[in-house]
Amino acid sequence: MPQTARSLTHADLLQLKRWNTPTIYNGWEQITKRDSGADAFNIEETRDFMPQMGPMVGYAVTLVIEPSNASHRKTNPSAGEEFRRYIASIPGPKIVVAQDLDKPRVLGSAWGEVSANMFRALGCVGTITDGAIRDLDEMTNAGFKALARRLCVGHAHVHPVRWNCEVEVFGRKVSPGDLIHADKHGFLVIPPEDQPKLLEAARFMDANECNTVIPAARGSAGLNSNELLSNLEASITQFSANVKAGFSREGEW
C-alpha cells in the first residue's frame, strides 16, 4: 500500500505537538467531511504509559503480529528484516501501529528496551499497540512513547505477520500514511484528505476558545449571577459566530 504525499511540513507537525489531542480534535472536527467525529478516535480504552512525554505526532506505519504463534518465524524467517527495511524507507516522524491478533489475551510484549531503541533510530517516535509493552523506564529513556493495552513481564514470538496494510487497534482502523496525534486521552487518526488544513483549524479553534468563553468564565470574580450568565451567553454567541465565519461546522457549542 503506497504512502500518500504529505501536505504538512516537519515544522507544522512540531506545532501540532503544542496542543493536546482533544484540542486537535476540535480543529479536525471543523474541517472533516465525515458524519461523526467518533469515526476518527479510539473507541476502546487505551493507556498512555508515558504521559510526561506529552503528545506524539507522526505518520502511521502499520504492523500485524501474533505473539502466540511461533510458526510465523518458520513461514517467513526474513520478515523481521523486511519490516525494518520498510520502516527505514518511509520518512519520519513515524508511529508504529501494531495490531495484536492475540488480544484480548496477552502472551508477551512486542515492545521493550531493545525494540524501542532500534525503532527510535529508524525514525519512529512511538507505538500504538493493542497488545502489551515492557521495560517502561527504558523505553521512556529512549524517547519512544507508547499507548498500549497493558504492561507485561515477558516477551514472546513477536514476528511480523504482515505490514503496510490496514490494521485495527482499539476499535479504530488505521491505514499507512494516516496522521496520528496521541496523548493520555487517546489517539486521533487523520486521513490524508483532512491533513492540509489541520494546523490552521487547530490554531483557530484554540484561539477562539481562549478569546471568548474561557476568559468570560475566568473573569467572573465580583459579578453577580445575572452578570455572569450574561457574559457567558455573549461569549458563547461570539464563539459560535467565529466558527461560522471561519468554518462550516459549529463544534461543541
Fill in the amino acid letter for 120: R
Residue with cell 496521541: 182
Question: Is the pLDDT score of 35 beyond 50?
Answer: yes
The CA dihedral of 66, 67, 73, 76, to the nearest 10 degrees, is: 20
| Least confident stretch, 40-49, 121-130, 217-226 | 217-226
Q: What is the mean pLDDT of the chain?
A: 90
Q: Report yes or no: 190 and 198 within 8 Å, Cβ to Cβ.
A: yes
The grid coordinates listed for 121 are: 533510530
Name the helix (H) or strand (E) containing 133.
Answer: strand 132-133
Q: Summarize pLDDT for 198-245 with one digit per residue, the tens.
A: 999 999 999 988 999 998 888 878 888 998 999 899 999 888 888 888
- pLDDT bucket at 247, cuts 50 / 70 / 90: low
The span from the CA of 204 to the CA of 94, in Å, is: 26
Is the whole model's pTM more than 0.85, yes or no?
A: yes
Q: Which of 68, 67, 79, 73 is nearest to 112 (CA)?
A: 67
What is the pLDDT, as a whole number, of residue 54?
96
* Cβ atoms 131, 29 nearer than 8 A: no
pLDDT of residue 71 exceeding 90, the answer is: no
CA atoms lying within 13 Å on the CB side of residue 158: 21
